[in-house]
Amino acid sequence: MCGIWALFGSDECLSVQCLSAMKIAHRGPDAFRFENVNGFTNCCFGFHRLAVVDQLYGMQPIRVKKFPYLWLCYNGEIYNFKQLQKQFGFEYQTLVDGEVILHLYNRGGIEQTASMLDGVFAFILLDTANRKVFLARDTYGVRPLFKVLTDDGFLGVCSEAKGLINLKHSTSLCSKVEPFLPGHYEVLDLKPSGKVASVELVKFHSCKDEPLHSACDTVEALPSGFDLETVKSNIRILFENAVRKRLMAHRRIGCLLSGKGGLDSSLVAAVLLKLMKEININYPLQTFAIGMENSPDLLAARKVAAHIGSEHHEVILNTEEGIQAIEEVIFSLETYDITTIRASIGMYLVSKYIRKKTDSVVIFSGEGSDELTQGYIYFHKAPSPEEAAEESERLLKELYLFDVLRADRTTAAHGLELRVPFLDHRFTSYYLSLPAELRIPKNGIEKYLLRLSFEDSNLLPKEILWRPKEAFSDGIASVKKSWFSILQDYIDQQVDDLLLEKAAEKYPFNPPKTKESYYYRQIFEKHFSGRSSWLPHYWMPRWVKATDPSARTLKHYKSATQE
């Protein structure tokens, strides 16, 4: 996890502009560098470092003797950098996984570079010899990237929008700061003036397509065919491989056990611990859960931790602390989406605890499973398996606006690095290649295929493996009163009825329909005025008449305590 920032063609003094780069300092608490580009006095890079690999040579922008004309600023982890070195005979000068980007680009250009990277990444690559700037972002947008490009060719790029919104320029930047699309790269021409012109924006990978880098994966070709035993075995092999490749770190690894429903993060933790033992990592795995006392998530996490034998930490959420964190959370997230904010409060506070009280820095989590394996309760209402499959793909494409955004910002706010094995390119493309009928909820149980695949593995207790779904913002509450209803009671006192009546006039785009939504929007506009288009629409369940995104408001919601 790092913070990257770059400007090309700035009209203003760079020493003033670089103050904007300090807005993302939380992403890299270990070191900071600000570097001008030789020959282009109005172009520069800013980098905040969280040192996870190569403590000595890991600073950026990365430049190597072999390619003096290339400058790279990247945030992410490239899990197959050693396999690529072997396959193509690359001679690395550092231990930094991202160095492979320079070698791939030199060998085959930007299209091959982006397609061959197995990992999560957002990068800015400058080629001064050919006067090109390249931007790219991983398939699911696990690593964030924002950009602003003015009509006169001034380009600003940053890990978070807050590093761009106060830039000085002769023309207005207000409406132009936007998220860079996941699974895409952009080519820009660099003019002698330092300004740029966009040449093309290309989609290099779609979640359904088997990634190009599969050819040099450590797991070779899998048995084909859709008989159940083959499918279950392939799911286990690919998931275990997804966790294994993410063990790459020189800092301590931990795991969240407070994800939605317990299943996703519990599976990650169980496989993680098994693999850590296999490769002789000699410290105990720390697991973390947050909730109000006796909440469903806390109780389930306790069971999992006891079963797998982790060093378990419980963070008790008190209502006042949760409410006080709302503004910080919205500022970190850069969104006003209701369900994202609700679920982020617990994750933000548990990340704060991890940073202050432990030495775990690389944090595994279960994001992406609900979207991939049809885990949301509303999937029970899907009209057909085909429509369920389409919805699954839509959710995956929009992850960067919702769950992935939440997971990145809440952990990065406290200088932690998140790893999400469920969003492994190979694992997701395989799961999406399965017949739609295989992937739907069965016997009233969502994620049926995923649960079934691990039933005989003894990785988890049966009651956790088959536990019904909780929404994260609900699972952290006690069953009697959910976290979101506690929030709403507080907000009811903060927002006047008259304000809500006139909400559509004040906020015509995505107008708030509830006091809670209005309250979040007010805070968002205070920090990011006029930028409501960053959220195209609110996250809401489909195929049901829902006015609220919480699972508890859906008729077929069933708490584990009601069994």
Q: DSSP letters of 85-154? A: HHHHT---SSS-TTHHHHHHHHHHHHHHHHHH--EEEEEEEEETTTTEEEEEE-TT-SS--EEEE-TT--
Q: What confidence score (pLDDT) does residue 559 get?
A: 43
Q: For the chain, what is the mean pLDDT?
A: 90
DSSP state of 1: -
Q: What confidence score (pLDDT) does residue 261 get?
A: 47
256 among the known binding-site residues? yes
For the purposes of burial, counting CB atoms within 10 Å of the CB of 115, is it exposed (0-12), middle (13-18) or buried (19 or more)? middle
Residue 473 has pLDDT above 70, yes or no: no
Q: What confidence score (pLDDT) does residue 29 get?
A: 73
List, by residue number, the catalytic residues: 2
CATH of 228-392+411-493, one of 3.20.20.70, 2.60.120.560, 3.30.1300.10, 3.40.50.620: 3.40.50.620
**Average pLDDT for residues 244-252, to the nearest whole number?**
92
DSSP 3-state helix, strand, coil percentages of the chain (rounded to 5)? Answer: 45, 20, 40
Q: What confidence score (pLDDT) does residue 551 get?
A: 57
524 or 172: which carries more pLDDT confidence? 524
List pLDDT tens digits, range 162-208.
Answer: 999 999 888 766 558 999 999 999 999 999 999 999 999 999 999 99
Site of tokens 């207005």: 172
The string of DSSP letters for 200-234 reads EEEE---TTSPPGGGGG-SS-PPP-S--HHHHHHH
139 or 27: which carries more pLDDT confidence? 139
Give domain 3-203's CATH architecture: 4-Layer Sandwich (3.60)
Instruction: Please state, for a pLDDT cut of 70, what percent of the chain lies above it.
Output: 91
366 among the known binding-site residues? yes
Angle at 471 between CA 470 and CA 472, to 5 degrees: 105
Q: 25, 331, 3, 248: which is closest to 144 by C-alpha?
A: 3
Residue 70 has pLDDT above 80, yes or no: yes
Residue 549 has pLDDT above 90, yes or no: no
Q: What confidence score (pLDDT) does residue 359 get?
A: 95
Residue 71 in tokens? 């400058």
Q: What confidence score (pLDDT) does residue 470 get?
A: 58
Residue 468 has pLDDT above 90, yes or no: no
Report the half-sphere exposure of 531 (CA within 13 A, side-chain side): 25
pLDDT confidence tier of residue 51, bands split at 50, 70 and 90: low
On whether the CB atoms of residues 335 and 311 are closer than 8 A, the answer is no
Q: What confidence score (pLDDT) does residue 41 get?
A: 84
Residue 506 in tokens? 């004040």
Residue 35 has pLDDT above 90, yes or no: no
Q: Helix (H, G, I), strand (E, B), or coil: what is residue 494?
A: helix
Enumerate the domain spans of the chain: 3-203, 228-392+411-493
95 among the known binding-site residues? no
Instruction: Please state, for a pLDDT cut of 90, what percent of the chain lies above it.
Output: 74
Q: What confidence score (pLDDT) does residue 300 get?
A: 84
The count of other CB atoms within 10 Å of the CB of residue 28 is 24
**Average pLDDT for residues 433-443, to the nearest whole number?**
97
Torsion angle in degrees (nearest 10) through CA of 546, 552, 557, 560: 170
List pLDDT tens digits, range 298-322.
Answer: 888 898 999 999 999 999 988 889 9
Region of 175 please: left (phi>0), alpha (psi -120 to 50) or beta.
alpha
Model-level pTM greater than 0.85?
yes
**Average pLDDT for residues 349-363, to the nearest whole number?**
96
Residue 556 has pLDDT above 80, yes or no: no
Residue 259 has pLDDT above 60, yes or no: no
**4-13, 179-188, 291-300: the lowest-pLDDT one:** 291-300
156 among the known binding-site residues? no
List pLDDT tens digits, range 218-228.
Answer: 887 899 999 99
Residue 500 in tokens? 């809500």
Which sign, positive or negative, has the C-alpha torsion 277, 280, 286, 289? negative
pLDDT confidence tier of residue 361, bands split at 50, 70 and 90: very high
Q: What confidence score (pLDDT) does residue 555 get?
A: 53
- For 301-357, what is the HEC assignment? HHHHHHHHCCEEEEEECCHHHHHHCHHHHHHHHCCCCHHHHHHHHHHHHHHHHHHHH
Q: What confidence score (pLDDT) does residue 406 get?
A: 97
On whether the CB atoms of residues 133 and 155 are closer than 8 A, the answer is yes
**50-64, 141-155, 201-215: the lowest-pLDDT one:** 50-64
Peptide bond just before 61 cis, omega within 30 deg: yes
Q: What confidence score (pLDDT) does residue 190 get?
A: 97
On whether the CB atoms of residues 104 and 112 are closer than 8 A, the answer is yes
Q: What confidence score (pLDDT) does residue 554 get?
A: 55
The residues with which 313 forms a beta bridge, in sequence order, are: 288
Q: 300, 238, 293, 229: which is closest to 266 by C-alpha?
A: 300
**88-97, 183-192, 300-309, 464-473: the lowest-pLDDT one:** 464-473
Amino acid at 361: V
**Across the beta sheet with 119-127, what order do the strands follow?**
62-64, 67-78, 119-127, 132-137, 184-190, 196-203
For residues 242 and 499, give the distance between their C-alpha atoms in angstroms, rounded to a whole number: 48
Q: What confidence score (pLDDT) does residue 561 get?
A: 36
- Fold match flag (3-203 vs 228-392+411-493): no
The residues with which 121 forms a beta bridge, in sequence order, are: 76
30 among the known binding-site residues? no
Residue 481 has pLDDT above 80, yes or no: no
**Average pLDDT for residues 272-291, to the nearest whole number?**
94
For residues 501 and 515, give the distance between their C-alpha atoms in angstroms, rounded to a whole number: 10
On whether the CB atoms of residues 288 and 258 are closer than 8 A, the answer is yes
Contacts of 107 (CB under 8 A, 6+ apart): 88
pLDDT confidence tier of residue 545, bands split at 50, 70 and 90: confident
Residue 44 in tokens? 């520069």
